Amino acid sequence: MSQLHFVIGDPEVCTGCMICVTVCSMHFYKVISPERSRTRVVRLDNGLDFPLFCRNCEDAQCIPACPNGAISRTSKGTVIVNNAKCNGTGACVEACPYFAVHIHPDTRKAIKCIQCGECVRRCPADAIWITTVDELTERDPKGKILGLHEEYSEELYGEEARR
Amino acid sequence: MIKGVGGTILRIDLGKGKIEKQPIDEDLIRRYLLGAGYLSKVLFDEIAVDTDPLGPENVLGFATGLLTASMFPQASRHVIAALSPLTGIWGESHAAGFWGAELKLAGYDAIIFKGKAKGPVYLNIKDNEVDLLDASPIWGRDVFETDDYLREHHGKKCRTLAIGQAGENLVRFAAIMNDRDRASARSGLGAVMGSKNLKAICVRGTGKIEVARPKEYLKQMDEFYKRMMANPFTEGRIKYGTTSLVEMMQHIGRLPSYNMRQGVFEGYRRISGEVITDNYLVKPRSDWCCLQRCGRFTTVRKGPYAYIGGSPEFESQSSFGSRCGNDNVESVLYAHHLSNQYGMDTISLGATISWAMEAWDEGLLTAEDTGGLDLSWGNHEVIVKLVKMIAFREGFGDVLAEGSKRAAEIIGRGTDRFVMAVKGQEIAGQEPRAQKSMGLAAVTAARGADHLYAFPVLDEVGFDKEIRERFGEQYLPEIADRLNPKYKGVMVKECEDYMVVVESLGLCKYGTQIPAEFFYDDVAQALLIHNGLEFTREELQTIGERIVNINRLFNVARGITRKDDQLPDRLTKEPAPVGPSKGQVVELDQMLNEYYTERGWDLETGIPLMKTLKRLGLEKEGKGLAIESE
């Protein structure tokens, strides 16, 4: 099983406060701006709030998608963007099935979650944590959390979510 | 340059369809901050004294606070103000959510509307692009349908603010809703929006908020978050929101019941926070950067009252529940949900229904008046039916849509003695005979009866430590005794000054007042790192006083004096008949004298003295209104 780390959130616990989003944009870009955050929160009208992050996929689609070879995996397993090589083609954004890579509106570089944990340690609801596939299975043996992500994939990653 | 703001004010003439952008006025901000303070000054200057609240000349302002969209705990709020159609005086209302933050991210701190559109319109904001668009497809639609339509057309990430049918039908306590279930409920500002043919404001902001001290920012917020989470109040707030106030208020006899005949309700357990949490709570839900998350997301799964949505607050439990003698909790939840859907203030709505129920109970209203509806205490089917009838002004609902004061004038027969209102606005869920400071606060609040303008909760459940910090020893122990009228004038004055500052910053009263975790020094620190504005505690306090005084001048110009700062006779003359506060009345005159003295207002008339206004730099505004003599 994969030991790659990624951040996951429980949509039944997340209260939708967006603190993770604001922490991220402040930590990395010194502004408050959901558009300049590496994470996002989608609130549905049925009471579910989804905090959404890079899944750090084993077969990360964003890596081969980049025409400039700007995206790679570090020795620790984190998928990162090389800013020197990135010129904002947006191919990675299109390739990511989770809409977890975005183009920063000011720098025009791709940005994504690198599991730094800044938001995790500040989540007031303890709704998000750094996990692995194994850890998540242990914590949520019935797969409810990922099941909900799957069930609402259109709302979370579909065309409307990307607009 | 002030940081942490949008930087631009939108000025919109609906009659001419003209949209103008103005830079924010930094001098004005230094004197009034943003939010409530900013609108207080702008609307004082721009609304003529003889204006019809529902006429095109009324000015309707929306503003974010200086800290709205900051990362300060609960910095989610915006404020709306206009001349109120319910009271004919200062009208102001606030809500949390995401709409205010989105407006700021689009680059705007406030929107000021004048005039009346020729047909239904909505304002659509996408960053720099601001357009008035045709709202005829959504006119007649409820708040949820309007939100669906706007996000369908302009993108799911938009944040919407809208009126429902109640606002269109000029119900005098219509709310302005945002993010579906957040309500700027009081003062009937939804009717002002309706009178202007303005259905909604849809906002998408993709901008950024630059702060004054980015390097210190997260460290400072970490400290604020730690304190907020460690506060002993937070755990209960997360678990119950405000719903468990039913139990607490019953305990001290402050739960308005049977139209405020009394402060205890025998069926309180059935509408309690515990019942709602155990049976209907889906989860607590937050607004922008909210750690307290008093917002509830609830559902009734089956039966006539089935729904899923955001609700309720203590105020709704008290207004549709105990106040109407109703212990059917599902009807309470559903009535609240319908009020969100149609866009109405649950306080005035429930209070107006309970006025009618008491008149019915006394035999002064009959089936002939009500179109056959049986208004017996606790008739939950009729309560729910009336919510819709009022929103659509159907049958007897048309009378109740005028609010309890006007409804009593229409019905006559002495039913005015059951009107539990101040200056035409219904008293919220605080039976003041059980907490004297709330009685005083209800009469001094600028928008008519209101618990939030001062929100004097320090004497409610033993905040002796906070009292000591804020007032020293000099007023203890009397000030902390909720049944003792002594020093309540001091407390209400001090609380008003602070609370209007909080409303001008876009912060929440949870965190700043109950629990009183953050006080002037903390918000001053936030203003420094977020906005780069330096204020001392004394300077902020003076700004608070200035705002309260200009609100008062707005009302004085419309004839308000001490004679209007009065509670219904029931609360000052009839001793509480049962419960822990049995035998109590509100000693209002004594408290008012103390309050006016603290304020520097004339004792006889309650009008500000010119020397007070001079101290606050309001000489020009007070001309022709203030009392000149000593």
Distance CA B15, CA B121 (A): 11
Tokens of B296: 């509830």
Q: What is the pLDDT of residues B11-45, one digit of tens each?
A: 999 999 999 999 999 999 999 999 999 999 999 99
Strand B121-126 relative to strand B198-204: parallel, antiparallel, unpaired? Answer: parallel
* pLDDT at residue B109, as a whole number: 98
Strands (E), chain A: 6-9, 31-32, 40-43, 49-52, 71-73, 79-81, 101-103, 110-112, 128-131
For domain B8-204, give the CATH number: 3.60.9.10
Report the 3 state secondary structure along B214-280.
Answer: HHHHHHHHHHHHHHHHHCHHHHHHHHHCCCCHHHHHHHHCCCCECCCCECCCCCHHHHCHHHHHHHC
* pLDDT at residue B461, as a whole number: 73
C-alpha dihedral, B410 to B415 to B418 to B424, nearest 10°: 30
Task: Work out the average pLDDT over B40-66.
Answer: 98
Domain that holds residue A104: 6-162
Sequence letter at residue B429: G
- A121 within domain boundaries: yes
Q: What is the pLDDT of residues B210-229, one digit of tens each?
A: 999 999 999 999 999 999 99
Q: Give me the CATH number covering residue A134.
A: 3.30.70.20
Tokens of B24: 């924010």
Distance CA B88, CA B564 (A): 12
* pLDDT at residue A163, as a whole number: 82
Give me the residue from B206, B215, B293 closest to A15, CB to CB: B293
CATH class entry, domain B237-419: mainly alpha
Interface test with A, best of B289, B292, B299 (most A CBs within 10 A): B289
Q: What is the pLDDT of residues B527-575, one digit of tens each?
A: 999 999 999 999 999 999 999 999 999 999 999 999 999 999 999 999 9
* pLDDT at residue B72, as a whole number: 98
Q: What is the pLDDT of residues B489-536, one digit of tens each?
A: 999 999 999 999 999 999 999 999 999 999 999 999 999 999 999 999
- A141 within domain boundaries: yes
Categorize the per-residue pLDDT at B630 as very low, low, confident or very high, splitting at 50, 70 and 90.
low
Locus of tokens 């307290």: B292
Asked if A55 contacts A5 with a C-beta cutoff of 8 angstroms, the reply is no
Q: What is the pLDDT of residues B599-619, one digit of tens each?
A: 999 999 999 999 999 999 999
Short-list B319, B318, B314, B591, CA closest to B436: B591
Task: Work out the average pLDDT over A108-135.
Answer: 98
The Cα-based distances of B528 to A24, B4, B211, B216, B288 in angstroms read 21, 10, 9, 11, 21
- The crossing angle, in degrees rounded to 10, of helices B35-46 and B537-556 is 30
Distance CA B489, CA B625 (A): 23
A22 interfaces chain B, CB cutoff of 8 Å:
yes
Distance CA A154, CA A148 (A): 11
Tokens of B477: 């122990």
B488 φ/ψ angles, rounded to the nearest 5 degrees: -75, -25
Distance CA A10, CA A48 (A): 9
At residue B381's C-alpha, the angle toward residues B375 and B382, to 5°, is 35
Looking at the structure of chain A, the number of domains it has is 1
Q: Is the dihedral of CA B515, B516, B517, B520 positive or negative?
A: positive
Short-list A113, A9, A97, CA closest to A61: A97
A124 interfaces chain B, CB cutoff of 8 Å:
yes
Task: Work out the average pLDDT over A92-106.
Answer: 98
Q: Which residues from A are below 8 Å from B70, CB to CB?
A: 32
Domain chopping of chain B, boundaries? 8-204, 237-419, 436-622
Distance CA B168, CA B297 (A): 27
Which neighbouring-strand residues pair with B83?
A: B90
Which neighbouring-strand residues pair with A72?
A: A80
- A95 within domain boundaries: yes
Fold of the domain built from segment(s) B436-622: 1.10.599
- A54 within domain boundaries: yes
The fraction of chain B above a pLDDT of 90, given in percent, is 98
CB atoms B208 and A35 under 8 Å? yes
Q: Which residues from B are below 8 Å from A163, CB to CB?
A: 155-157
Strands (E), B286-424: 296-300, 307-310, 421-422
The pTM (predicted TM-score) of the whole model is: 0.98
Mean pLDDT of chain B: 97
Instruction: Give the ipTM.
Output: 0.97
Who's near B210: CB < 8 A, 6+ residues apart? Answer: A30, A31, B3, B4
B556 φ/ψ angles, rounded to the nearest 5 degrees: -60, -40
Q: Which residues from B are below 8 Å from A34, CB to CB?
A: 105
Sequence letter at residue A153: S
Using DSSP's 3-state secondary structure scheme, residue A77 falls into coil
B98 interfaces chain A, CB cutoff of 8 Å:
yes
Distance CA B607, CA B562 (A): 8
Q: In Å, how far is B207's CA from the nearest CA of chain A? A: 6
Which neighbouring-strand residues pair with B202?
A: B124, B160
B211 interfaces chain A, CB cutoff of 8 Å:
yes
Asked if A34 contacts A52 with a C-beta cutoff of 8 angstroms, the reply is no
Report the 3 state secondary structure along B176-220.
Answer: EEECCCEEECHHHHHHHHHHCCEEEEEEECCCCEECCCHHHHHHH
* pLDDT at residue B259, as a whole number: 98
- A1 within domain boundaries: no
Give me the residue from A17, A23, A125 closest to B288, CB to CB: A17
